[in-house]
Structure 1
Amino acid sequence: MIRTGAQYLESIRDGREVYINGERVRDVPTHPMFKPLVDIRARIYDMQWEARTRDVMTFTQDGEVNGIGNKLPITQEDWWDKRRATDCVLREIGGVVTRVGDETVGEMWSLFDGQDVLNEVDPRFSENIRNHIDKVLHHDPFHVSANTDPKGDRSKPPQAQDPDMLLHVVKETDAGLVVRGAKYETAAAYANQAFTKPTIADWGDSTYSDYAVGFICDLGSPGIKFICRTGFAGQRPAADYPLSSRFDEVEALVIFDDVLIPWENVLFYRHTRAAMFIRATLHRYSAFAFVQRSLAFADMLIGAALFNVRQTGLDTQQAVREKLAQLAVYREGINAHLTAAITLSERSPSGLAMPNQSLLYAGRVLACSQLHEAMHIARELCGGQVCTTPDAASFAHPDTRPWLDKFYTINAEWMADDRRKLLAFARDLLNSDYAGHRLAFQLFAQSPPYAHLAAVYRNFDWDGPLEFVKRSAGLSDTVLSPATRATADRPLARGGDTGTTPRAAE
């Protein structure tokens, strides 16, 4: 059943070993670099209980109230419900957060589709995935994703260097598997569990491998250490950095120092086909929530730019309107792909409602590949004052405030304080360390750009254009015969993402 924010906070006070900014963290929920995101995740839990938001955030099944984000998508309407719930969260918190559970739980649904693959090695594994999907629904943990390893020298196979550069099994016991290595994970330091799976997809001649392992990891397990990058929150005044002080999602190098994974948490092991399947289908569901965040980010770009040109009276100029229209086209392109992916949804191998894969992955390429251009257009529209405006303390100091009030007040509607707030918001959105981090995160969070394009290639219906040209050009029937088709380019199962080499970022 859904839990409260207070229950979530207590769940991550489990003695976990977390390091950030050169110190051991004694209490994750109250540490200044974690607290803003921890509070947001707790707020999302509480939204499931509040009368104002519970109807859009939850559903009732067999008399039990559960979170919409964790629901297996059976119908097209389930996806509309998920989209409405995510929009509700982003409006409530006033910004964009990505790794809060609804995006990453979808990765397990891909394994649900691959139960026949899991059954090839051990029927217990498909039973484990069904049990864990049920556990996520009924126990409501904060679930994240563990994909990419340090990798080391990528010109060498893992066996030819320090084997710990890729997470691997070092021992089998009656209680479970003992694993060693490391993973980079966003939000792991303040989450409950992670779906941990291999990066590598080029297994060479190895039919079985100690690196081909996937499991659910309890992030409070003995032997796990979290070494986090320094967060942006708590470093600078929130008045000057309204986004980075609240929405920084902290990544960690998660060390697995001989960690025991109970057998009931193992989803596949020493089965390279299962490992390749999950790499080929990992984002068939989770990409939707990821792209939806891109839509919200596009709205933030438009809002900041439009407010600025209206403040300064430039919104009537044709050149400015053309720039705003470019942002609108970017935004509506993302919106169209999301809407069409639901409307033209497909049935998955296990009978789930799967967003139209070609449209979803094409939308992800659009959202990620054009984000830097959209941010630059927004910079142009916000103007040079974004990078030259003094901080909030200067606007408050008695010696400097009169001058700043004079030069930053535009008219009776736009006084200096609102002008400063907008410029601070735009600076944090477009020019700050956080802005650069966000841009890189968006580019690599699910997979690198070449893998985004590979997913489109593997899911686009090439036969349609070929058939059209065949008929138009009067080509013979043999050109579309099965023998001439590039069957090697087909994914393991339709609806596939891919990381086709060990160099894949995730």
Structure 2
Amino acid sequence: MIRTGAEYRDSIRDGREVYINGQKVADVTLHPQFKPLVDIRARIYDMAHDVKTEAVMTVRDGDEVNAIGNALPYTQDDWWAKRRATDAVLEDVGGIVTRVGDETVGEMWSLFDGQDVLAEIDPQFARNIENHITRVLKTDPFHVSANTDPKGDRSKAPQDQDPDMLLHVVKETDAGLIVRGAKYETAAAYANQAFTKPTIANWGNSAMSDYAVGFICDLGSPGLKFICRTGFAGRAPAEDYPLANKFDEVDTIVIFDNVLIPWENVLFYRHTRAATFIRSCLHRYSAFAFVQRNLKLADMMIGAALFNARQTGLDKQQAVQEKLAELAVYREGINAHLTAAITLGERSPAGLMMPNQSLLYSGRVLACSQLHHMMHIARDLCGGQICVTPDAASFRHPETKPWLDKYYTINDEWVADDRRKLLAFARDMLNSDYAGHRLTFQMFAQAPAYAHLAAVYRNFDWDGPLSFVKGAAGLSDRVMGGKPLKSGDSTLTQWYGEPSRAAAE
């Protein structure tokens, strides 16, 4: 059954070795650089029990009530429900948090689709993924994702350098696999478990490789060490940096120092085909929740920019309206891709409802590749005062307050304190260390830009444009290389989907 926030906090007080700022953390739930996100994750758990939000945060399965984010998607309505739940969380906490479960548990569903591939290696691996998906739904852990490795010299195969540069198996035992190496995992220090899988790498030419391993890691396991980057929370007063102090999701390099992975947690092993398959479809579900965050960030940029423009009447100028329109087009472009991805959803190999893959991955390219440009437009609209405004303490000091009240009060509607709050919010979203970190995170968190484009290439229906040009130009069948066109290969089908499938939904 769904957990409470208090139960979640208790679950991560398990004696794990967490280090930050050169110090060992005694209690990750109380440390000032982890506590803000622990509190937010606890709030998400509690929202499932809050009478005001439980309807949007949960789904009933017979007599059980489960978290909507963990539930397998079988219909379009399931995706609309997930979208509403994510919006409810972000609006409740007043900002953007990404690695809180709904954006990472979807990777497990890709494995669910690939059970036939896993069964080729060992039928038990296919059963393991089904068991873990059930466990996630029933026990409601905080599930995150482990992706990239330190990698080392990328011109060399992992076997030709320090083998620990990529996570690998060092021993098989009756109890399970012993693994060594390291993984970068956002939020790992305060999560319960992680889907740990191979990075995009060269595993060697052999069909078998100790680096081609995927498993569920209990983050309380002996032998794990969590070495975290310095957090943004607590560096400066929350009044001056309201986002950095509340929404910094601390990234961690997790050291696997001969860690035992029980066989029931192993999802695939020594099979490069399985590793390649998982990498190729890893984000077919999780990309939706990831891109949805960019939509909310676009709303934040529009709101901050428009408030700043309206304060002094600049929103009446055509040049300002055009820049606001660019932000709106970016926002609506993301919204359109998400909406269409649900509306033209596709059946997965295991019978799940996938967001339309071509539209979803194209939306991710739009959201990530244009984000830096949109942030610069928002900076322009917010004006230079976001980088020169004094801190909140100066607005309160008896000797400086009168002057700052004088120069920051615009009218009866916009007094100095509200203007300072808006400028501090915009600065933290667009200009601060935290802002730069978030921009890089959004660009690389699921994959680098070339991998985003590769996903589009793999999922776009190239036959539609080819068939249209073949007919319009009067080309012979030979130009298709003898390949017959599939039923429904037309531009209309590409845009609107199969009528029978749409009707079924």
Shorter-chain TM range is over 0.9
Deviation at 1:465, TM superposition (A): 0.4
Q: How does 1:288-327 map to 2 (within 5 A)?
A: 288-327=288-327
Residue 155 of structure 2 aligns with an amino acid whose one-letter code is S
- Partners of 1:46 and 1:484 lie apart in 2 by 54
Percent of aligned pairs sharing the same letter: 79
Is the alpha carbon distance of 1:296 and 1:482 closer, same or farther for their aligned partners in structure 2, counting shifts above 3 Å?
farther
**CA shift digits 1:160-187 (9 cap, x unpaired):** 0000000000000000000000000000
Partners of 1:201 and 1:63 in 2: CA distance: 45
The residue number in structure 2 matching 1:130 is 130
Question: Is residue 384 of structure 1 aligned with residue 394 of structure 2?
Answer: no
Cα offsets for 1:322-379 (capped at 9, x unmatched): 0000000000000000000000000000000000000000000000000000000000
CA contact (8 A) 1:368 1:442 kept: yes
1:200: Cα distance to partner? 3.5
User: Matches of 2:282 and 2:382 in 1, distance apart?
Assistant: 38
Counterpart position of 2:98: 98
- In 2, distance between residues paired with 1:124 and 1:44? 34
Q: Match for 1:439: what amino acid? A: L
Contact kept in structure 2, 1:179 and 1:260, CA below 8 Å: yes
1:167-246 correspondence to structure 2 within 5 Å: 167-246=167-246
Determine the C-alpha separation between the residues in 2 that align with 1:301 and 1:316: 19
Instruction: Spell out, residue by residue over 1:252-301, the C-alpha distance to the aligned partner (whole angstroms, 9 max, x if none).
Output: 00000000000000000011111111000000000000000000000000
Q: Which amino acid aligns with 2:345?
A: S
1:203 offset after TM fit, Å?
A: 3.5
CA offsets 1:74-125 (integer angstroms, 9 cap, x no match): 1110000000000000000000000000110000100000000001010000
CA contact (8 A) 2:157 2:204 kept: no
Match of 1:163 in 2: 163
CA contact (8 A) 1:201 1:275 kept: no
Cα distance in 2 between the residues matched to 1:94 and 1:294: 15
Letter paired with 1:123: P
Question: How far apart, CA to CA, are the structure 2 residues paired with 1:414 and 1:372?
Answer: 29
Aligned-pair Cα RMSD in Å: 1.0
- What amino acid maps onto 2:467 in structure 1? E
Contact 1:201 1:279 in 2 (8 A): no
Q: Which residue of 2 aligns with 1:50?
A: 50
Matched, 1:115 2:121: no
Q: Which position in structure 2 is the counterpart of 1:471?
A: 471
Of 196-205 and 178-187, more deviation after overlay is shown by 196-205
Normalised to the residue count of structure 1, the TM-score between the two structures is 0.95
Residues 204-251 of structure 1: CA distance to partner in whole angstroms, max 9, x if unpaired? 421100001000000000000000000000111000000000000000
Paired with 1:175 and 1:415, the residues of 2 have a C-alpha distance of 66
1:491 counterpart residue number:
none
Kept after mapping to 2: 8 A contact 1:233/1:248:
yes
The answer for unaligned runs of 5 or more in structure 1 is 486-506
Instruction: Determine the structure 2 residue equivalent to 1:69.
Output: 69
Matches within 5 A, 1:227-376: 227-376=227-376
Contact 1:177–1:261 (CA under 8 A) maintained in structure 2: yes
CA distance in 1, matches of 2:145, 2:19: 19
Look up the match of 1:40: 40
- In the alignment, the residues of structure 2 paired with residue 33 and residue 265 of structure 1 have an alpha-carbon distance, to the nearest angstrom, of 31
Give the Cα–Cα distance (whole angstroms) in 1 for the partners of residues 55 and 27 of structure 2: 33
Judge conservation of contact 2:157–2:203 (CA < 8 Å) in 1. Answer: no
Task: Name the SS of the counterpart of 2:29 in structure 1.
Answer: helix
Aligned length, in residue pairs: 485
- Measure, in 2, the Cα distance between the counterparts of 1:42 and 1:460: 39
One-letter amino acid of the structure 2 residue matched with residue 144 of structure 1: V
CA separation of 1:482 and 1:281: change in aligned 2, threshold 3 A: farther
Hey, what does 2:4 align to over in structure 1? 4
Counterpart secondary structure, 1:65: strand
Partner of 2:494: none
The Cα of 1:20 is off from its aligned counterpart by 0.3
Q: Is the 8 A contact 1:21 1:230 kept in 2?
A: yes
Say whether residues 1:419 and 2:411 are aligned partners. Answer: no
Matching residue of 2:81: 81
Aligned amino acid, residue 46 of structure 2: D
3-state DSSP class of the match of 1:283? coil
1:447 aligned to 2:435?
no
Contact 1:201 1:276 in 2 (8 A): no
Q: Distance in 1 between matches of 2:482 and 2:29?
A: 58
Q: Which amino acid aligns with 2:5?
A: G
Name structure 2 gaps, 5 residues minimum.
486-505
Give the C-alpha shift of residue 312 in structure 1.
1.7
Tell me what 1:504 maps to. none
- Paired residue type of 1:392: A
* C-alpha distance after superposition, 1:458-491 (max 9, x if no partner): 1000111011111111110111135699xxxxxx
Give the distance between the partners of 1:446 and 1:40, measured in 2 at CA.
Answer: 22
Whole-angstrom distance in 2 between the partners of 1:463 and 1:189: 46
- Give CA deviations for 1:184-206 in whole Å, capped at 9, x if unaligned: 00000000000000014544421
Distance 2:384 2:147 in 1: 40
Residues 16, 225 of structure 1: 8 Å contact kept: yes
